[in-house]
Amino acid sequence: MSTTATAVENPHSEARNDQPLAKLAVAAIGIVFGDIGTSPIYAFRETFAGHHPLTPDQMHIYGVLSLIFWSMTIVVTIKYVSIIMRADNKGEGGSLALLALINRQSKGTRWSAPIVMLGVFATALFYGDSMITPAMSVLSASEGLVTVDPRFGPWVIPIAVTILIGLFWIQAHGTAKVGQLFGPIMMTYFVTLAVFGVMHIVKNPTILMALNPYYAIEFFRIDKFTAFLALGSVVLAVTGAEALYADMGHFGRNPIRLSWLYFVLPGLMLNYLGQGAMILSLSPAEALEAIKNPFFLLAPEALRFPLVILAMLATVIASQAVISGAFSLTHQAIQLGFIPRLRILHTSASAAGQIYIPVINWFLMVMVLLLVLFFGSSSNLAAAYGIAVTGAMFIDTCLLAVVLFSLWRWNKFVAALVLAIFFIVDITYFAANLTKVPDGGWFPLLIGLVAFTLLTTWAKGRELMLDRMREAAMPVAVFVNSAANSATRVPGTAVFMTSTADGVPHALLHNLKHNKVLHERVILLTVKIEDVPFVKTGERCGLKDLGHGFHRVVIRYGFMEEPDVPAALKLVTGCGPEFKMMDTSFFLARQTLLPSSRPGMAVWREKLFAWMLRNAESAMEFFRLPTNRVVELGSQVEI
């Protein structure tokens, strides 16, 4: 993201080039791996003590550990780290960045519309995930207090709620200073995971045999449907895999790979193996009790409380990453035309990516608190967790299929084989999670459906509105020739903002109709958001002389940048003197939608679009126009 119109390509790319690999790898550990890093707190436990309990004996423990290891290998290491992270859009990752890349290179193909819908639905599912992740992780860490002293039981939910309220409250004040501690805290956390895991592995080293895929296959051969149901909890071990791809623009591909392969993955697996080794060292009766919270019982009693505090810090960091991700994704969706303009605030003068979107923040907070209070425990919440993640993973594989066949043009046999493995894994996990719909899985699906409806309604309504405005627009050449000879010209510059780069803006027609004058210099200005993250300064502005003091200017931004029209106008040359804001007036048209029987959208969607349009952030603030130099003129549009 760029704070000014004069930003060069990708500021993160420049930062990456200037910083050593090791330093970026440590920073990535603090931001990227929070979600997947907190999975050991609940993933192993839920597989045995969740909605479909398993007996914690050797066969089941070996089978589950084997599934966890091979899931992380196939889904995270091979699919995301080795393949999908190569599909970057000028250094940026994530579903929307990948969608923009595919859309840019496949315009006009018959399947581009379904691909756009898939990308939008992945975005919609992320909002469901961004509500469940903070609730699940913070609540599960708070429940660790019970392993220190059972009397903490009644305080678990109040403590979790307090932490979450504090987390969302600090968003408006920025997290840059706190963020400096993320890397060291998460490194300490992963080292702690590994140490406690090794302490139990050395007592029962045969647990390492669980890495053999034979035990996963044997688990399915013996238990069949029960093993299939267990996948719904095993998938919790890979939640957060998409974050590796989405955060690639901040750290680069290599630091994330380095962190995952040589630090995070070993730490996670040692901890999972340690949990398994500990359970196997207990009697059957003790194992049934310990499996209710094996993560915290790994620690000696004297170190259990410090582990709970460290886990709480880790879950706060994981939640922070998801919340920041929601802000970043929303910003991209606004720029790409899927969400109406929203108020965006910067919380750091130096870190361009530190943004805060109030409406998203408070909506997420309300939904997260409702989840904690409604479900009451992390085990109950686990039923809601997984649907959104597995759905997004499946969509990423669909988008990857387009990349492999159409963009990279892999050998068809190799591509089909790789995709077949990914699709089998994704579909199996998604199907296993569908069994959790009645117990809470309906929530992320409901949120995803609502978000998908809003995103597609805005995109379609905006498209229809622009089409109607083009139909009614007067040709520029006709207007310029007639107005230049008949209207009185007054000193100064008038900038008329228009969504389309052709035709006469409604605001210009209304101004001439009511005020009967034209400025000496008239700029017809269009801001275009390209399907790339950043636009070079030299390619920022395009100018066309229309004659008689009229000029058409097109300002281009990437979907990771923020428009700053006054700053961009300073770059424009060749249309008279330099732009001075005190001599420039900006004219905006505020559209009022009228009900119409014309084909386009259902009536209820038209009303929904009209409501979104009314509540959108004003163009004046969104484009950073000087408040005392803006004139708004109303116009009516039928869609």
Together in a domain, 434 and 493: no
pLDDT computed for residue 141 by the predictor: 94
Structure tokens at 557: 């931004």
Q: Are strands 488-497 and 355-356 parallel, antiparallel or unpaired?
A: unpaired
The mean pLDDT value for 29-49 works out to 91
* E strands, 348-453, in order: 355-356
579-593: per-residue pLDDT in tens? 998 989 999 988 777
Tell whether 458 is covered by a domain. Answer: no
Q: How far apart are CA 140 and CA 156, in angstroms?
A: 9
Q: How confident is the model at residue 515 (pLDDT cuts 50, 70, 90)?
A: confident
Is the per-residue pLDDT at 246 higher than 80?
Answer: yes
Lowest mean pLDDT among 81-90, 188-197, 348-357: 348-357
Positions of E strands within 441-506: 488-497
404 assigned to some structural domain:
yes
**pLDDT at residue 57 greater than cutoff 70:** yes
Domain total for the chain?
2
How high is the pLDDT of residue 99? 83
Structure tokens at 210: 């669980």
Q: What is the pLDDT of residue 511?
A: 84
Same domain? 384 vs 526 = no
The predicted model gives 250-259 an average pLDDT of 88
**What are the tokens at 107?**
């315009």
Q: Where residue 361 sits, what CATH number does that domain have?
A: 1.20.1740.10
Its sign, for the CA torsion 332, 335, 338, 344, is positive
For the cut 60, the answer to whether the pLDDT of residue 9 exceeds it is no
Residue 624: pLDDT above 80?
yes
- Given a cut of 60, whether residue 239 has pLDDT beyond it is yes
Q: How confident is the model at residue 2 (pLDDT cuts 50, 70, 90)?
A: very low
Q: Does 332 have pLDDT greater than 80?
A: yes
Residue 429 makes CB contacts below 8 A (sequence gap 6+) with 71, 231, 232, 235, 386, 390, 393
Question: Average pLDDT of 170-192?
Answer: 83
Q: What is the tens place of the pLDDT at every residue in 388-443? A: 889 989 999 999 999 998 888 899 999 999 999 999 999 999 999 999 899 888 99
Give domain status of residue 560, yes or no: yes
C-alpha closest to that of 432 among 240, 135, 272, 226: 226
Query: Looking at residues 348-369, what average pLDDT do you find?
Result: 82
Residues 574, 634, single domain; the answer is: yes
The predicted model gives 229-253 an average pLDDT of: 87
Please tell me the distance from the alpha carbon of residue 511 to that of residue 631, in angstroms, as a whole number. Answer: 10
Q: Give the residues across from 633 on adjacent strands.
A: 589
| Cα–Cα dist 555/354, whole Å | 24
What would the mean pLDDT of 236-248 be, rounded to a whole number? Answer: 87
Would you state the pLDDT for residue 109?
60
In angstroms, rounded to a whole number, what is the distance separating the alpha carbons of residues 577 and 583?
A: 11
Are residues 471 and 331 part of one domain? no
Query: 431 with 478, same domain?
Result: no
Containing structural domain, residue 335: 21-440
Tell me what percent of the residues of the chain surpass a pLDDT of 90: 53
Residue 453 lies in a domain: no
Percent of the chain with pLDDT over 70: 93
Task: Quote the pLDDT of residue 18.
Answer: 55
* Same domain, residue pair 163 and 251: yes
| Position 546 pLDDT exceeds 50 | yes
Residue where a domain stops, chosen among 391, 406, 440: 440
The pLDDT-based confidence of 52 (bands split at 50, 70, 90) is confident
Section 227-244 average pLDDT = 91
Q: Which two tokens stand for residue 76?
A: 């995270």
State whether 261 and 120 are in the same domain: yes
pLDDT at 465: 87
Residue 89, token pair as written in the block: 């859009």
Show the CA angle centred on residue 500, arms to residues 499 and 503, nearest 5°: 125
Same domain for 526 and 427, yes or no, is no
Question: Mean per-residue pLDDT for 251-269?
Answer: 92
Task: Assess if residue 479 is contained within a domain.
Answer: yes
- The band of 3, judged by pLDDT with boundaries at 50, 70 and 90, is very low
User: Do both 91 and 33 map to the same domain?
Assistant: yes
Q: Distance between CA atoms of 332 and 157, rounded to whole angstroms?
A: 34
**Residue 8 in this model has a pLDDT that exceeds 70:** no
* DSSP-derived secondary structure letter, 181: T
- Domain boundary pick from 422, 440, 458: 440
Q: Is the pLDDT reported for residue 212 higher than 70? A: yes
| Whether residues 380 and 489 fall in one domain | no
The closest of 285, 313, 300, 287 to 148, measured between CA atoms, is 300
In this structure, are 132 and 223 located in the same domain? Answer: yes
pLDDT of residue 487: 81
Q: Is the pLDDT assigned to residue 189 strictly greater than 70?
A: yes
Task: Say yes or no to pLDDT of 50 above 50.
Answer: yes
Predicted confidence at residue 79, as pLDDT, reads 95
CB hemisphere CA count around 423 (13 angstroms):
10
Domain boundary among the residues 424, 440, 456 is at 440
**Which pLDDT score, from 0 to 100, does residue 548 have?**
87
| Cβ–Cβ < 8 Å for 557, 525 | no
Confidence label for 540 from pLDDT (cuts 50, 70 and 90): very high
Contact predicate 222/64, CB 8 Å:
no
pLDDT computed for residue 522 by the predictor: 93
Number of DSSP helices (H) and strands (E) in the chain, helices first: 30, 8
Bridge pairing between strands 517-529 and 630-638: unpaired
Taking residues 450-461, what's their average pLDDT? 94
State the average pLDDT over residues 313-326. Answer: 90
Average of pLDDT values for 336-346? 88
**pLDDT for position 349:** 56
Structure tokens at 480: 């310029």
- Cα angle, residue 412 at apex, residues 406 and 416 outer, rounded to 5°: 100
- Whether residue 585 is contained in a domain is answered as yes
Pair (405, 519) in one structural domain: no
Question: In this model, does residue 266 exceed pLDDT 50?
Answer: yes
16 band by pLDDT with thresholds 50, 70 and 90: very low
**In the predicted structure, residue 161 carries a pLDDT above the cut 80:** yes
In 313-466, DSSP assigns E strands to 345-346, 355-356
- Report if residue 461 sits inside a domain: no
Longest dimension (CA), the chain: 97
The overall average pLDDT reported for the chain is: 87
Contacts of 389 (CB under 8 A, 6+ apart): 129, 235, 238, 239, 241, 242
pLDDT, residue 414, reads 95
Q: Closest by alpha carbon to 556, among 546, 543, 545?
A: 543
Assess if residue 380 is contained within a domain: yes
Single out the residue of 512, 503, 506 nearest to residue 477, CA to CA.
Answer: 503
**Is there a contact between 381 and 132 (Cβ–Cβ < 8 Å)?**
yes
